[in-house]
Amino acid sequence: MQQTTVTLKINGKTIKADPKSTILEVAKKHNIDIPALCYHPDLPVKANCRLCLIEIKGNEGLYTACSRKAEEGIEVKTESPEIVRARRINLELIFAQHCEECIDCILFPDCEMLRLAKKYGAQCRRFTDRKTKYPIYQFGPSIIFDSRKCIDCRNCVDVCAKQNVNFLEIKEKGHLFQIVTSKDKDKDCIYCGQCITHCPSGAFEAVGEFEDIEEPLKEKNKTVVFQIAPSIRSSIGEEFDMPHGSVVMEQIVAGIKKLGVDKVFDVSVGADFTTTEEAKELAERLEKGSVLPMFTSCCPSWVKYVEFKYPKLIPHLTTVRSPHMMSGGLIKTYWAEKEKIDPKKIKVVSIMPCTSKKYEITRKEFRINGIPPVDYVLTTRELAFLFRKHKIDLKTIKPIPADNPIGDPSGAGVIYGASGGVMESALRSAHEMITGKPLKKLEFKNVRGLKGLKTADITINKRKLKVAVANGIANAEKIIKELESDPKKYDYVEVMACFGGCIGGGGQPVPTNDEIRKKRAQSLYKIDTKKKIRSAHQNPIVKKVYKEFLTSKKKIHHICHSSFSPKPKSCIKQLR
Amino acid sequence: MTIIPKLMESGLTGRGGGGFPTGKKWGIVKKAKGDKKYIVCNGSEGEPGVFKDRYILEKYPEEVIEGIKIALKTFPNSSAYIFLNKNYYKKFKTKLKSLTKNLPITLFKKTGGYLSGEETVLLNEIQKETKYEPRLKPPYPTQSGLFNQPTLINNVETFYYIAQVAKDKYKQTRFYSISGDIPNKGVFELPISWSAQKILKETGNFPAHPFFVQTGGGAMGEVLLPKELNQKVEGAGAIIIYDKKKTDSFKLMEKWAKFFLKGNCDKCVPCREGVYRINEMVRTRKIDCKILSDLFFVMEQTSFCPLGKGATLPFKSLCNKLQLL
C-alpha cells in the first residue's frame, strides 16, 4: 500500500510530505528557497537548468530537487559550499546565453535570474554572450520572440506542445540546438502567449511591450477611451505587490484617469451584450436544429485555431462578437451618437489579459463602416508598466468608482474572465429566454474551476442540454475528436485557449500558476455573488440599448456579429 | 542452474561502458512487473577508437543472437530490438535477419548521434519521440523502459558473453579495441585481469617511442602515461596509443571537443554550455585555468547524464599529465 505521508528532513527540519511530491515542491511549500528556472508547475519536470541542486545524506554527489521525490527518512541539504559553487557557475553559464535587456523586460524588476545572480554571487558577464547573432521573430501582430535572450530551458516548447499547437520547436544548427518556429505548413501560432508567461528569461513578449505603450496617450484631437477586460480587475494588483486575487477595479479607473484619460469603460458591459446575443443564437440554433454544437468565439486564439486547422468547423462558431469588440463597436456607434462625437475621432484602447487580442483588432471582419471597433490593445502587464512609468501605484491610489459611460455590468459579465464564465453567463440568459422563467439557482458550479475539460447536462424545458467547457487548446482538441465520432455529443461548447481562461491569459502578470489562477478566478465569482443583477439580459443598459438603438436585425448583425473564414498560416517575420 | 544465478556467479559485467553486473540487471528485470517485457541489444557503438562490437557482429553474430534468445526465454512475453548504428545496420542486416527469422526480434537502424547509445536516449529513439534526449531516472529502464515496460538493455558484447556463460564457456575475457600509432591494430579477446601494459606487450603493441595512451574510449577515455599502465582497462575496453612527438595535444583536444559538441543533446546547462566553452577555449588556444576548473566541476557534479559527467576526463587527464597549462 502507498504511504500517505513520508517524513524527511530538509536542512535539519523535520517535514511530513506527500510521497508523490518532489523535494522542490515540498521545499516551496515550507518556504525553503531552492532556485529553479526551468521548473514550472504546469509542465512536466525536465531538470535542465541544474540549479535546484541538493545533497542527500549518505549519497555521493548532487541531485536535482525537481526530479527527486520525497522519500521516507532522507536528509536533504539545500545549501552547502559545493551546491553554492555549482549554482553560481551554472548561473554564469545561463547568463552566457542570455543577452540582457533588463530595462525593457517583462520580468524586470522581479527577475528571478537577477535575484539568483545576486544571491549566489554569479557574474552575469563572466562569459561573452554566445547568442548575440541569434534571430528575433515576430509572430503576427501579437508576439515577439527574441532568441538572443533564450536560456534553452524549453518551457516554451513544452507549453506550446501542451496547447497542441507545436509551433515552437528545437532544431540543431551548427551542433547547437535552438528554439525555432515550425516550418510545417500544418502548424501555426495561435498567439495565446503562454510562451510568454512560462519563459523564465523574458525572451518572449507581446508586440509593443513596452516600447509602444505610450502611443494611445499621444493621440491628438481624439477622444481616447480605455476599456477594462473582466479578468484584469483581479490580476493587475499583483504587479503592485498586492495579494493574488485583489480586486482593484476602482484603483484601475483612478490610475487611468490620472493618465489623463477621461472615459473608462468596463468590457464586462460588452460581455453582457455578447451573452445576450449568444444566448439568443443558442436558443435559435436549438429551436431550428441548425449547426450544433455551438462553439463560443470570444477567444481569438481558439477562433484562429479553428480557422486554420479545422475550417470545416467554422459554422459551429457563434458569430457574436467578443466582449471588447462588442463594447468597442457600441462606443463608436451608440455612445458616439449620444455624445455627438465623430466615431473617427474616438480611439478605443482595450486593456486585455491577452496577446491574441492584439491580433483580433486587426481582423477586417470586425470593422463597422470601415472603422475598427478597437484601436489599441494593451496587456495587463503593459498597463501596469504604464502606471509605474507615470508613478501611479495601485496600492496607494485613491479608488474612483467606474463611471461606466454606457452602464454597469451584471455579475455574468464579470465572470467572463474565468473558464466556464461565458458558458454560465449564456446559460443564465438562455434558460430564461427559452422557458420564459428566471432560474431559481444561478450558479452552474460544474462548469467552474481549473479542470481542463468540464462537462455538464443541463435541463431546459425538459430538453437535456449537453455542454462542455475546455481551457487549453489540447482539451478543445479532445472535444473535436469526440465530436468526430459522436457529432451529437454536445450542444454548446466553450473554449478558452489559456489555462483557467482569461485569468491565465498570455498578457497577465508573471508568474502564473494554478494557485494564482484560482485566486484570480475566485475574486471574479465573489464580485458576481455581490451583484444585484447577475444575468446579462436583465441588465438595464442592455435592455435600454436594444430598445433605443439595436432595433433592427440588420443593425444588430452589423454591430454585434462578425464572420469567420479559413485562414492560411500566419506571417512570421524574422526581425533580425 | 538457471541463467540468472549463472550470470551472477560468472561475475559478468556490462560491456557497453557502465560495467553494471549483468546477473543483477537480469534479476531486476525478471522481478519487475509489466504487461510485457522488452529486450534491447545495444549496437550503437559510436565513440572513436571503439570498434569491438563491429568485430563481434562480424565474427560471432550467432552467439549474439543466442544471447538474445536466452533473454527471450528467460522473460516470458518479451520481444527484442537490436539497435544498430547506421553502418552496422547496413553491413549486418542481411546476416542478422537470416538469423532472427521467426523470432520476435526487430532490427532498428539508429538515426541519432553518439548520445543515442545512452540507454534512455536509445529508448526514446525506438519510441520515435521527437527529442533524442536522456530520460529522468528513476524510473530505471529495468522497471519502466521501452513503452513504459520493464526493459533489459545489454551491449552486443554482453549478449555474446551471456551465450558463453550459458554454455559454461565464459573464461573471464573481454574484447579490446586497440588503435593509434602502433603496428598491430585490431580487436583482441584477452583476460579482463590483464593490465594495459600486459595487453600492449602481448599484442606486440608496446611502443618503443615516447607515448601516452587513452583507455576506455577515444573521447571519454582517460589519458595515461607509460608509467600508469599497470591497471586494468575499463569502460568499453579501448586502448588508443598516441606518439607523444607526433601528437598535437591541442588538436587532439579540439577533436574531442568537437565530438562532444556534436554528440551531446544540449538538454542541460552544464554539458551544453560547458562543452561549448571548452570547445571555444581549445579552438582559440586561450585556456583560462580557473574557468576550466569551474566548468569541469559543474559538468561532473551537475550534468544530467553520463556524457556531461564523463566528458571532462580526457581534457583533465591530458592537461594534468602533459602539464599543458
The string of pLDDT tens digits covering residues A368-419 is: 999 999 999 999 999 999 999 999 999 999 999 887 888 899 999 999 999 9
Percent of chain B whose predicted confidence (pLDDT) is above 70: 100
Check whether A338 has a pLDDT greater than 80: yes
What sign for the dihedral angle of Cα A486, A489, A490, A496? negative
Cα A321 from Cα A97, distance rounded (Å): 43
User: Testing the interface with B: which of A43, A50, A71 to mutate, by most B Cβ within 10 A?
Assistant: A50
Minimum Cα–Cα distance from A96: chain B residue? B273
Question: Looking at the predicted structure, is the pLDDT value of residue B325 above 80?
Answer: no
Cis? peptide before B139, omega within 30° of 0: yes
Nearest CA in chain A to B294: A89
Confidence of residue B291 (pLDDT cuts 50, 70, 90): very high
Q: Within this chain, do residues A179 and A258 fall inside the same structural domain, yes or no? A: no
Mean pLDDT of B165-192: 97
A221 lies in the same domain as A130? no
d(CA A489, CA A477): 14
Structural domain count, chain A: 3
Instruction: Determine contact: B298 vs chain A, CB below 8 A.
Output: yes
CB within 8 Å: B304 and A96: no
Shared domain check, A244 and A155: no
| pLDDT number for residue A55 | 98
Residues 190-219 of A with CB under 8 A from B: none
Range of the domain at B280: 249-321
Chain A CB contacts of B277 below 8 Å: 93, 96, 127
Q: Which of A91, A69, A54 is nearest to A19 (CA)?
A: A69
Distance between CA atoms of residues B16 and A570, nearest Å: 48
- Inform me whether the C-beta atom of residue A125 falls under 8 Å from chain B C-beta atoms: no
User: Any CB–CB contact under 8 A between A96 and chain B?
Assistant: yes
Instruction: Report the CATH number that the domain containing residue A57 is assigned in CATH.
Output: 3.10.20.740
Collapsing DSSP states into helix, strand and coil, what is residue A216? helix
pLDDT mean over A475-485: 98
Q: Determine whether the interchain pair B277/A96 forms a contact, defined as Cβ–Cβ distance below 8 Å.
A: yes
CA distance B300 to B313: 9
Within 13 Å, how many C-alpha atoms sit on residue A42's CB side?
29
Reading the block at residue A272, the C-alpha cell is: 453582457
Are A458 and A309 within one domain?
Answer: yes
Q: Compute the distance between CA of residue A83 and CA of residue A89 in angstroms, rounded to an integer.
A: 10
Band (pLDDT 50/70/90 cuts) for residue A438 is: confident
- Does B257 share its domain with B199? no
Dmax over CA atoms of chain A, in Å, equals 79
Looking at chain B, list the stretches that DSSP marks H as alpha helix, in order from N- to C-terminal side. 3-10, 22-31, 52-59, 61-74, 86-99, 119-126, 156-166, 196-202, 249-263, 269-284, 289-302, 306-310, 312-321
CATH classification at residue B233 = 3.10.20.600
Q: Do residues A190 and A246 both lie within one domain?
A: no
Q: Does A277 touch chain B (CB under 8 A)?
A: no
Q: What is the structure's pLDDT at A64?
A: 98
Max CA distance (Å), chain B: 60
Query: How high is the mean pLDDT of chain A?
Result: 96
Decide if B189 touches A, using CB distance below 8 A: no
Whats the size of chain B, residue-wise? 325
Q: Tell whether A504 and A444 lie within a shared domain.
A: yes
Among the partner residues B258, B266, B295, nearest to A176 by beta-carbon distance: B266
Q: Does residue A130 belong to the interface with chain B, where contact is any CB pair within 8 Å?
A: yes
The predicted pLDDT at position A2 comes to 59
Residue A263 C-alpha cell reads as 472615459
Chain A partners within 8 Å of B111 (Cβ): none
Q: Which CATH number do you get for residue A252?
A: 3.40.50.1780
Q: Which of B166, B196, B221 is the last residue of a domain?
A: B166
* Inter-chain touch A94–B272, beta carbons under 8 Å: no
Write down the H helix ranges in B194-288. Answer: 196-202, 249-263, 269-284
pTM for the full predicted model: 0.95
Q: Which three cell numbers stand for residue A214?
A: 505610450
The reply to whether B268 touches chain A by the CB within 8 Å rule is: yes
- In which band, very low, low, confident or very high, does the pLDDT at A576 lie, cut at 50, 70 and 90? confident
What is the per-residue pLDDT across A526-553, written as a single tens digit (0 to 9) for each?
999 999 999 999 999 999 999 999 999 9
**CB interface of A with B, residues 143-182, below 8 Å:** 151-152, 170, 172, 175-177
Give the pLDDT score at A3. Answer: 65
pLDDT band of B312, cuts 50, 70, 90: very high
**Residue at a domain's end among B142, B166, B190:** B166
Cell 508568474 found at: A511
Q: Do A175 and B261 touch (CB under 8 A)?
A: yes
Residue B238 and residue B260 in one domain:
no
Ramachandran bin of B168, using left for φ above 0, alpha for ψ from -120 to 50, beta for the remaining angles: left
Check whether residue B68 and residue B217 sit in a common domain.
Answer: no
Ranges of H-type helices in A335-468: 336-339, 356-360, 380-389, 411-414, 421-435
Instruction: Give the integer Cα–Cα distance in Å for A431 and A438.
Output: 7
Beta pairing partners, B106: B81
Residues 6+ apart with CB under 8 A from A184: A166
User: The cell 545512452 sits on which residue?
Assistant: B118
* Contact yes or no for B62/B99 (Cβ under 8 A): yes
Q: Residue A145 and residue A202: Cα distance in Å, rounded?
A: 9
Give the pLDDT confidence score for residue A462 in this predicted structure.
Answer: 87
Residue A190 scores a pLDDT above 60:
yes
- What is the distance in angstroms between the Cα of B80 and the nearest Cα belonging to chain A? 29
- From B260's Cα to the closest Cα of chain A, the distance in A is 9
Subunit contact A89:B265, Cβ cutoff 8 A? no
Separation of alpha carbons A204 and A198, rounded Å: 9
Distance from CA of B93 to the nearest CA of A (A): 29
Q: Is B165 on the interface with A (CB under 8 A)?
A: no
Query: Same domain for A183 and A230?
Result: no
Q: B166, B189, B219 — which closes off a domain?
A: B166
B7 and B124 fall within a common domain: yes
Same domain? For A449 and A376 the reply is yes
Average pLDDT of the segment spanning A178-200: 97
Residue identified by cell 489559456 is A498
Residue-by-residue DSSP string for A281-336: HHHHHHHHT-S-SEEP---HHHHHHHHHH-GGGGGGB--BPPHHHHHHHHIIIIIH
Q: What is the CB-side half-sphere exposure of residue A425 using CA atoms within 13 A? A: 37
pLDDT at B132: 86
Chain A nearest CA to B34, separation (Å) = 18
- Under the banding of pLDDT at 50, 70 and 90, the label for residue A367 is very high
Shared-domain flag, residues A470 and A518 = yes
Quote the DSSP letter at residue A561. Answer: B
Q: Which amino acid is at A217?
A: L
Instruction: Place B69 in a pLDDT band, splitting at 50, 70 and 90.
Output: very high
Q: Can you give the residue range of the structural domain that contains A512?
A: 215-560
With an 8 Å Cβ cutoff, is B129 touching chain A? no
Q: Is the alpha carbon torsion for A205, A210, A211, A212 positive or negative?
A: positive
* Amino acid at the residue A312: K
The ipTM assigned to this model is: 0.95
Coil vs helix vs strand at B201: helix
Buried/exposed code over B29-50 (b: 16+ C-beta within 10 A; e: otherwise): bbebebeebbbbbbbbbbbbbb
A574 located within any domain: no
Indicate if the pLDDT at residue A1 is higher than 70: no
Say if CB B223 and CB B204 are below 8 A apart: no
Search chain A and give the residue with CA nearest B136. A67
Partner-chain residue, chosen from A61, A89, A170, that has the shortest CB–CB distance to B298: A89
Rounded to whole angstroms, the Cα distance separating A36 from A210 reads 27
Q: Are residues B44 and B84 in the same domain?
A: yes
CB contact under 8 A, B268 and A177: no
Q: Domains in chain B: how many in total?
A: 3
Three-state secondary-structure class, residue B167: coil
Together in a domain, A488 and A552: yes
Q: Please tell me the predicted confidence (pLDDT) of residue B1.
A: 81
- Strand-pair category, A492-496 with A463-471: parallel
Q: Which of A49, A82, A172 sits opposite B269 (nearest CB)?
A: A49
pLDDT > 80? residue A472: yes
Q: Are residues A189 and A238 in the same domain?
A: no
CA distance B224 to A396: 70
Whether residue A84 is predicted with pLDDT greater than 60 in this model: the reply is yes
